[in-house]
């Protein structure tokens, strides 16, 4: 009879490359070239400008409820660009930079939050799924895609986003379990922004870290500073390389903070302290990266201003396309339920058209009905 | 032509699909080495290997969610749920995503996958192994709910289901699995999804059923014939989208109808059939339409299941009432 500690081979690490002051750890700095370094910066700035504009669109009644990503830009803007073009991305719904990087037009996001399915149509060849609203359900799709890659013998990988709240869901655990069993090329990226609406991270799990959950599924976990874009990039890059070469999945926990409300429909003052928010304000991922790039000599005041101006222009153009050029035929509601429309549904569609006609709904130049 | 039972017929369809299309994979609990708890996947692991016939960990949600991922990736997964009573642990994936991806992405993503599972009572199984909850799936837009009734149509419909560009929930009447054999043609055969069949012509009353209820319904039709009542029998085959026309044409001819299913009555498939009869054929009706169904109670433990399940006697009795009205 005996009783001793079981030794586990899986490891759980914590990675920080850029410290709070924007100073890089020399040994860990991935030393990305100027072009990529600057690109990541642009992506974060565009993400923030679009995010701010969408809050504004909601506030002025031009868009629906919106879940902003302010404060956590370094996660999506660091993680998605670390994946190859043939790799797939499964977002949750707060990864603005991920969509932009994969070539989704900015107005897609506005369309989605504005109540149009058109916002879920992926950019061609983007290998990027649309928003997943039911929490953690996308984990299984990401796992399934990586399963398909393995079955097909492709050496690609999948990056899946999920929040800290989502780690309480069964789908998250089932995805990790299957990924571990089949050694799938999956990078599970948890954006731990500390709050799931009003429920703090501590109420989701008793584990001191989320990263350590990887151990139970038989692979490594790593916690990164989620406001350190180089840390996010490097961790995902490493995990993706491991996945593509048959090394199996990795669980990454990026620790960041949701600076705003959960969505435009709630008031965080009800459930968290202003002091906590102020503390995180000082850790802003964009400011931190600006300091790093400036020290490196990659970013001048002029370039900084140009990047901001370009972002503002791109977002303004996207808003214009959303506001001025949307032509959405309500009758299309019926057209994508099945490849071939069943007769009963075709009858319902005809009836709907009669209802629109009787209500005097106007038609546009293409003969389509115009939404009031 | 070969005589085979439904298990063998389904096995044949899966074998054909795996052979014809490299994107088809089977996945589920115990479908590989164990060849499925009902042996539907017999021999397939040996023939196609563990990349095509995949034993999975025990999690229905991950099997269906994972299959959705594979379908997003362009493959054609055929996922087995060991019993339909356990598929509720995957229901959130069915409702939230399987039924919606096409519409959500305006046709960009098409989930051509099949979720097959044994359903229904009659095999003296413990709780959660006998329910008929096809109405849940039929109620969800974007899904096709298919239920074969014989070896031949099971093989043909499963082939069609695997080829369909849209998701198919494929209920297999486990009471029929080994109940009888039927001639199944050697050459691959398909049947259109969304079409019902008149399996027996008659002029006095229309009996509408599907799946495992086809056998007692046909037995009832025989009893009725002995009593001089000529029953027309419709096998729905696809429960949703429902083939209204076949039902309407028959009821307009007979003027009388009885709908039969195992599942509970309230908001069951029968309710939808009756609604469509009323919408299309009210003025042809000579009598109120009757439903012979499971009662609005949970499926009894198996000591009492025989009295719960609709049988030929109950069906014939209802038909007589309708005819005599």
Of all residues in chain A, what percent carry a pLDDT higher than 70?
100
Q: Which alpha helices (H) appear in chain A, and where do they start and end?
A: 34-59, 73-79, 96-101, 106-113, 137-152, 170-182, 213-217, 229-244, 274-281, 285-296, 301-324, 343-358
B251 and B140 inside one domain = no
Do residues B61 and B118 share a domain?
yes
**B162 and B242 share one domain:** no
Task: Examine the domain organization and report whether B178 and B65 are in the same domain.
Answer: yes
Q: Tell me the pLDDT tens digit for each residue of B264-304.
A: 999 999 999 999 999 999 999 999 999 999 999 999 999 99
> Is the same domain home to B179 and B202?
no
**Annotation says B129 is catalytic:** yes
* Cβ distance of A177 and B107 shorter than 8 Å: no
Residue B114 shares a structural domain with residue B167: yes
Contact A338 B241 (CB under 8 A): yes
| pLDDT given for residue A367 in this prediction | 82
- The reply to whether B189 falls in a domain is no
Using the beta-carbon criterion (under 8 Å), do A140 and B75 form an inter-chain contact? no
What pLDDT shows up at residue A328? 81
Asked if residue B312 belongs to a domain, the reply is: yes
My answer on whether B129 and B251 are in the same domain is no
Residues B225 and B153 placed together within one structural domain of the fold: no
Q: What is the CATH number of the domain that holds B95?
A: 3.40.50.970
What are the residue ranges in chain B where pLDDT is below 50? Answer: none
Residues of chain A with pLDDT under 70: 372
**Cβ distance of B72 and A149 shorter than 8 Å:** no
Q: Which residue of A has its CA nearest to B168?
A: A338
pTM of model > 0.95:
yes
Catalytic-labelled residue, pool A258, A289, A322, A369: A258
Fold of A12-324: Rossmann fold (3.40.50)
In A, minimum Cα distance to B142 occurs at A337
pLDDT at site B296: 97
CB B262 within 8 A of CB B213: yes
- Euclidean distance between CA atoms B246 and B44, whole angstroms: 37
| Closest by Cβ to B104, choosing from A120, A144, A344 | A120
List of chain A residues whose C-beta atoms are within 8 Å of the C-beta of residue B64: 140
Residue B190 lies in a domain: no
Closest Cβ opposite residue A140 in set B52, B93, B105: B93
> Are both B23 and B154 inside the same structural domain?
yes
Under an 8 Å CB criterion, which residues of A touch B?
88, 117-118, 120-122, 129-130, 134, 137, 139-149, 151-152, 170-171, 174-175, 177-178, 181, 332, 336-339, 342-345
Domain boundaries, chain A: 12-324, 328-372
Question: Which CATH number characterizes residue B257's domain?
Answer: 3.40.50.920
Domain edge (last residue) among B184, B218, B239: B184
Asked if the Cβ–Cβ distance from B242 to A344 is below 8 Å, we say: yes
- Phi–psi pair at A232, nearest 5 degrees: -65, -45
**Each residue's pLDDT tens digit, A10-45:** 999 999 999 999 999 999 999 999 999 999 999 999
pLDDT at A366: 82
Those residues whose C-beta lies under 8 Å from the C-beta of residue B247, and which sit 6 or more positions away, are: B196, B206, B208, B234, B257, B273, B276, B277, B280
Q: Is residue B249 part of a domain?
A: yes
**Residues B145 and B213 both lie in one domain:** no
DSSP string, A31-73: ---HHHHHHHHHHHHHHHHHHHHHHHHHHTTSS------TT-H
Comparing CA positions, the residue from A253, A34, A38 lying closest to residue A161 is A253
- A262 part of the active site: yes
User: Which chain B residue has the Cα nearest residue A341?
Assistant: B241
Hey, are the CB atoms on A140 and B62 less than 8 Å from each other? yes
B104·A130 Cβ contact <8 A: yes
CB B247 within 8 A of CB B278: no
Separation of first and last alpha carbons in chain A? 78
The verdict on residue B192 lying in a domain is: no
Enumerate long-range contacts of B244-249, CB under 8 Å, 24 or more apart: B244/A343, B244/A344, B244/B276, B244/B280, B245/A343, B246/B195, B246/B196, B246/B197, B246/B198, B247/B196, B247/B206, B247/B208, B247/B273, B247/B276, B247/B277, B247/B280, B248/B276, B248/B277, B248/B280, B248/B281
B244 to chain A, closest Cα gap in Å: 8
Q: Which of B121, B151, B184 is the last residue of a domain?
A: B184
Omega before residue B241 within 30° of 0, cis: yes
For testing contact with chain A, the best of B64, B66, B92, B144 (most A CBs within 10 A): B66
Residue B137 and residue B6 share a domain: yes
User: CA-CA distance, B293 to B274, in Å (whole number)?
Assistant: 13
Domain that holds residue B202: 197-324
Cβ of A121 and B106 within 8 Å? yes
End-to-end alpha carbon distance in chain B: 45
Among the listed residues B128, B129, B139, B261, the single catalytic one is B129
Q: Which of A94, A101, A128, A262 is catalytic?
A: A262
Q: Do B57 and A171 touch (CB under 8 A)?
A: no
User: Mind telling me how many Å the CA of A333 is from chain B's nearest CA?
Assistant: 8
**Domains identified in chain B, total number:** 2
Predicted complex ipTM: 0.96
Which residue bears the tokens 């038609």? A363
CB crowding B126-165: b at 16 or more within 10 Å, else e: eeebbbbbbbbbbebebbbbbbbbbbbbbbbbbbbbbbbe
Q: What is the pLDDT, as a whole number, of residue B282?
A: 98
For testing contact with chain A, the best of B73, B105, B192, B242 (most A CBs within 10 A): B73
A118, B106: Cβ pair inside 8 Å? yes
Burial-class residue A144 by CB neighbours within 10 Å (0-12, 13-18, 19+). buried
pLDDT, position A324: 83
Which candidate from A142, A146, A343 shows the least CB-CB separation from B245?
Answer: A343
Contact list in A for residue B56 (CB cut-off 8 A) is 178
- Distance separating alpha carbons of residues B262 and B132, to the nearest angstrom: 6
């Amino acid at each position: 009879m005996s009783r001793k500690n079981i030794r586990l081979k899986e490891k759980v690490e914590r990675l920080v490359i850029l410290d709070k002051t924007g100073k890089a750890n020399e040994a860990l700095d991935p030393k990305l070239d100027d072009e990529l370094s600057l690109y990541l910066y642009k992506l974060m700035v565009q993400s923030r400008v679009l995010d701010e504009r969408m809050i504004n669109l909601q506030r002025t009644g031009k868009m629906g409820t919106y879940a902003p990503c302010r404060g956590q830009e370094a996660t999506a803007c660091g993680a998605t660009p670390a994946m190859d073009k043939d790799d797939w991305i499964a977002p949750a719904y707060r990864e603005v930079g991920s969509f932009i990087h994969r070539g989704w037009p900015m107005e897609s996001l506005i369309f989605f939050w504005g109540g149009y399915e058109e916002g879920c149509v992926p950019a061609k060849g983007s290998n990027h799924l649309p928003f997943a609203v039911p929490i953690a359900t996308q984990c299984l799709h990401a796992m399934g895609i990586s399963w398909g890659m393995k079955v097909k013998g492709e050496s690609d990988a999948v990056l899946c986003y999920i929040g800290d709240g989502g780690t309480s869901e069964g789908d998250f655990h089932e995805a990790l379990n299957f990924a571990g069993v089949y050694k799938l090329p999956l990078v599970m990226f948890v954006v731990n922004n500390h709050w799931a609406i009003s429920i703090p991270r501590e109420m989701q799990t008793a584990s001191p870290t989320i990263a350590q959950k990887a151990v139970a599924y038989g692979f490594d976990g790593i916690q990164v500073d989620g406001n350190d874009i180089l840390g996010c990039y490097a961790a995902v890059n490493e995990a993706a390389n491991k996945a593509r070469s048959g090394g199996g999945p990795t669980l990454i926990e990026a620790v960041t903070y949701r600076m705003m409300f959960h969505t435009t429909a709630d008031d965080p003052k009800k459930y968290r302290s202003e002091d906590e928010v102020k503390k995180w304000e000082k850790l802003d991922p964009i400011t931190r990266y600006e300091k790093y790039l400036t020290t490196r000599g990659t970013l001048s005041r002029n370039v900084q201003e140009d990047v901001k101006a370009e972002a503002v222009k791109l977002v303004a153009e996207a808003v214009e396309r959303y506001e001025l050029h949307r032509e959405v035929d309500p009758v299309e509601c019926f057209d994508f339920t099945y490849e071939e429309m069943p007769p009963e549904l075709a009858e319902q569609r005809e009836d709907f058209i009669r209802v629109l006609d009787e209500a005097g709904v106007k038609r546009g130049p293409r003969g389509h009905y115009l939404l009031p | 032509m070969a005589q085979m039972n439904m298990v063998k017929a389904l096995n044949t369809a899966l074998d054909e699909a795996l052979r014809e299309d490299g994107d088809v994979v089977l996945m589920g609990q115990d479908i590989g080495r164990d060849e499925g708890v009902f042996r539907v996947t017999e021999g397939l692991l040996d023939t196609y290997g563990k990349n095509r016939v995949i034993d999975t960990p025990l999690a229905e949600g991950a099997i269906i969610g994972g299959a959705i991922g594979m379908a997003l990736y362009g493959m054609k997964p055929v996922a087995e749920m060991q019993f339909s009573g356990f598929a509720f642990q995957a229901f959130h994936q069915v409702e939230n995503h399987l039924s919606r991806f096409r519409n959500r992405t305006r046709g960009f993503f098409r989930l051509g996958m099949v979720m097959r599972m044994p359903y229904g009572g009659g095999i003296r199984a413990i709780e959660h192994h006998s329910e008929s909850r096809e109405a849940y799936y039929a109620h969800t837009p974007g899904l096709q709910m298919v239920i074969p009734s014989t070896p031949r149509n099971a093989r043909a419909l499963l082939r069609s289901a695997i080829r369909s560009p849209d998701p198919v929930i494929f209920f297999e009447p486990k009471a029929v699995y080994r109940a009888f054999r039927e001639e199944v043609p050697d050459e691959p055969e398909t049947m259109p999804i969304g079409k019902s069949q008149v399996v027996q012509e008659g002029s006095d009353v229309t009996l509408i059923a599907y799946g495992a209820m086809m056998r007692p319904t046909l037995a009832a039709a025989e009893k009725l014939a002995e009593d001089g009542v000529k029953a027309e029998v419709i096998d729905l085959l696809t429960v949703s989208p429902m083939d209204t026309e076949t039902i309407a044409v028959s009821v307009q001819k007979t003027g009388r109808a009885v709908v039969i299913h195992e599942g509970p009555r309230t908001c069951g498939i029968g309710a939808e059939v009756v609604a469509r009869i009323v919408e299309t054929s009210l003025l042809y009706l000579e009598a109120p339409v009757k439903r012979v169904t499971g009662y609005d109670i949970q499926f009894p433990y198996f000591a009492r299941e025989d009295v719960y399940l609709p049988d030929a006697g109950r069906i014939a009795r209802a038909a007589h009432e309708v005819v005599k009205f």
